[in-house]
Amino acid sequence: MSRQNRVLMVFNAKVKERKQQLQKHGRGAVPYSDYIALTENVDVDYIDRETVDSTLWARLIRRFVGYAVALVLVAFVKSRKYDTVYADCEPIGLPLAFLFKLSKRKKRLLFIAHWLTPFSRTVFLDYLKVQKQIDTVFVHTLAQQTVAIARCGFTSKQIQLIPYQIDTAFWSQQAYEAQLAKENRTQPIPKKPYICSAGLECRDYGTLIKAIEGLDIELKLAVGSHWSHTTGAGLEGELPPNVKVKFYNYTELRELYANAALVVVPTRDVDHAAGITVILEAMGMGKTVISTRSVGQSDVINDKRSHSRGDFKRISLSTFLRMFASDELSELQTGFYVNPGEVEEIRRAIAYLLENPEKAKEIGRNASLVVNEVMTVGHFKDRVLAHVIGATYVPEVFPETVML
């Protein structure tokens, strides 16, 4: 990369800490993050939470208003030396755009936007009018692409749709089997089939719990203790005896997925891709995923079913994969979508897949193939840097794992 395009990257994470974990344990033992990929073998500089922690004035700001604000201010101060600034989230990108507008500082600003419609974001767009200070906004779903253009005042040239990502060298059956071999263990056989889910953001576990009433199956939820930060997720009060809630670290979560019959991701009907990380992790593990088809989550899973029993509105075939996957893979069934809050529809989907385990395995294999072709960390790095650095960027070959 020519130093005429000096790039500063801003990450709301601790990059060095994750790099040390990877160096100690290796790929496949610790998830490889996008912020690691974007800073390796590339001529860019970066700041992160560790930069804030090592800077006295920034540390004081962080103490009162948090890391995001401190990172914005550190990035603004340091940006004088750079031509291009990239941020990994809109709570950093939008305030930076406002500071560039106030200071009349001309920079190329690019950032990822996961969710553009909360007031804390739209205030910068509706009232502070920072759109012209932004070169590119990366979004992960067709819904947010539409929101950015139709609601937020961006032009189509400013918005780039790029798929979300996971590390398929970690989230794979092969990596799990390697872990078992290293620990001299055999894969455990559950006493009874279980389904699982993970995460808290905009979740609707209350609907899922109702859907499994009377089924001879356990539900395991990787959401920490059910009394901590779960308001609105449907986990308040006493849970049924077949619902288990606990905290899982990365390797424990991988094992949870590996031995599950299904992974179900129930969410509220929100306009961003809540649940996408869990969906892709499970798909990478070769698991069939049942997900709520919310306004914002309707294009990652390819559900080719043309009808369902009952009076439920039929979901549409994803066009997202047609844009990024090969013709062959874009036609594969990769999971099930269900409508928001529909207890009976979720129940029927769960029951069908439990009664047809070979079909579930086939769909899981399809899902893993698609994730490996379209939504790996390596793909994400190439797509982002093609815009951040430009035509001089040469894509790398990443050791992604494909589940066959």
Task: State the Cα–Cα distance between residues 36 and 31, nearest whole angstrom.
Answer: 10
The closest of 77, 278, 317, 74 to 171, measured between CA atoms, is: 278
Rounded to whole angstroms, the Cα distance separating 383 from 92 reads: 20
d(CA 4, CA 273): 36
* Pair of tokens at residue 294: 């919310």
Cα–Cα dist 258/177, whole Å: 9
**Angstrom distance (rounded) from CA 60 to CA 74:** 12
Contact predicate 273/298, CB 8 Å: no
Residue ranges of the chain with pLDDT lower than 50?
Answer: 1-2, 227, 307-317, 401-404
How many other β-carbons are positioned within 10 Å of the β-carbon of residue 18?
18
Distance CA 262, CA 56 (A): 48
Element (H, E) at 9: strand 7-10
pLDDT of residue 398: 54
Please provide the distance, in angstroms rounded to a whole number, between the alpha carbons at the two ends of the chain.
37
What is the distance between the alpha carbons of residues 325 and 136, in angstroms, rounded to a whole number?
A: 23
DSSP-assigned letter for residue 185? -
Facing residues of 291 across strands?
A: 265, 337
User: CA 4 from chain center: how many Å?
Assistant: 33
Alpha helices in 285-355 (DSSP H): 320-324, 327-330, 343-355
Q: Where are the alpha helices (DSSP H) in 30-89?
A: 34-37, 49-53, 56-65, 67-78
Residue type, 77: V
Cα separation, 33 vs 149, whole angstroms? 29
pLDDT tens digits for 332-390? 999 999 999 999 999 999 999 999 999 999 999 999 999 999 999 999 999 999 999 98
Torsion-angle region of 208 (φ positive above 0: left; ψ -120 to 50: alpha; else: beta) = alpha
Distances (CA, A) of 265 to 28, 283, 352, 398: 24, 12, 17, 29
| Cα–Cα distance for residue pair 341/351, rounded to 1 Å | 17
pLDDT, one tens digit per residue, over 244-253 is: 999 999 999 9
E-assigned strand segments in 165-213: 194-198
**Quick one: pLDDT at residue 229?**
55
pLDDT of residue 1: 47
Give the integer Cα–Cα distance in Å for 160 and 141. Answer: 10
Which two structure tokens, joined as six digits, stand for 122? 């739209």
Flag whether the pTM goes above 0.85: yes
